[in-house]
Each structure stands twice: as structure tokens, then as C-alpha cells.
Copies of this chain bind each other. A is one copy, B any other.
Amino acid sequence: MNEPGFVVWFTGLSGSGKTTIAVELEKKLLKRNLRVQRLDGDIVRKSLTRDLGFTEEDRKKNIERITFVTRLLAKHGVATLVSFISPYISVRDNARKEVNEENAKFVEVFVNASVEECASRDIKGLYKKAFAGEIENFTGVSHPYEEPPTPEIVCNTEYETEEESTKIVLDFLEKEKIIPLQIKI
């Protein structure tokens, strides 16, 4: 009854495809009858982090609160899919440490796409505003992004379809026995 869950932590620039892959992965994991919870900005901003902006301090607080929630969910058996830019190595490493303290696996997925590519997608119109100087502290434009030096997985979303990226993550989870191998019938 008390086996831990696990965490898949998607990090990358705005528009790199973090949430897209997380949503697809969620569907696959739900089909396997796992308890799954996604966490992203849209989900937490209404209550958990609504007082926070985009300064370095606020971004760190943001991930600190997310980490608290993620740790508890992982402790209690939930497959927790976290997608935030989370630009700082130290903050992501702390999330990993906390999750590991619950004996839960932490899988860091670097969702890798260049600023140019993300800006050309510009789904939310944010890059345009950032380049025009209308948004301060925009990651990749006016705020640093620290690439993960040793992520478990890199999804190169400039070259992979979302199905391919999702399969890479799912295959990793199976290979590492974080989820059971699916028996084909």
C-alpha cells in the first residue's frame, strides 16, 4: 500500500513542448491504471503560486512550492508529471533530492528546442512581447536558462514529433522498471 510513485520533471524554454509531452504521457499512464497528476503553471497559478512573478526570487519560491507538492504526491504513490521552465540547476537538483528522500525515482527530461524555434512557434505570443521588451525576465531572452548537464532524457522537439518524444519517455520508464513493461496481447 505504501510504495512510492515517481516524478517526471520536464524542464525547458517556454514553448519547447513540455506540457504537450506531459499531457500525452499522462494519457498513456492513465491507460495503465496508474494514479497520475500533472502539475504546470496553469494548474498551480490559481492558488498555490498566484502571488509570484518572474524575478529570480519568485521563480525559486515557485519551484520550492511545486517541489513540496511533488514530494508529497510521489511519497503517496502518484506518478507526478511536472512541467515548468524551472531554469535553475540548483532548484531542480533540490527537487530531485527531496523526491529521492521519499524513495521515489526522479526523471529529469530536458525538452530541448532553441530560442529561435520556440520563438517561431510562439504559441502564446510571449516571445514577440519579450523581444519587444514588454515582458521582463523572460527565460531565454532576458533571463538565463541553465541547461541540465545530465538529464535522464533529452527530447529534441525541433526534430521529434510529440508522439516520438512521449515514446522516448515511456520507453525509459519501462527500461528502468519505473513502470511495468506493457504486455502486448
**A residues in contact (CB < 8 Å) with B:** 1-2, 33-35, 37, 44, 47-48, 51, 61, 64-65, 67-69, 72-73, 75-78
Contact B72 A34 (CB under 8 A): no
Partner of A78 from the list B61, B69, B76 (CB cut-off 8 Å) is B76
- CB contacts (< 8 Å) of A47 on chain B: these are 64-65, 67-68
State how many angstroms separate the Cβ of A105 from the closest Cβ of chain B.
17
Contact A61 B72 (CB under 8 A): no
State how many angstroms separate the Cβ of A66 from the closest Cβ of chain B.
10
Contact A35 B69 (CB under 8 A): no
Contact B72 A69 (CB under 8 A): yes
State how many angstroms separate the Cβ of A129 from the closest Cβ of chain B.
28
Known: A2-B35, A77-B77. 17 other contacts (CB 8 A): A1-B33, A1-B34, A35-B77, A37-B72, A37-B76, A47-B64, A47-B65, A47-B67, A47-B68, A48-B65, A48-B69, A68-B69, A69-B69, A69-B72, A72-B72, A72-B73, A76-B76
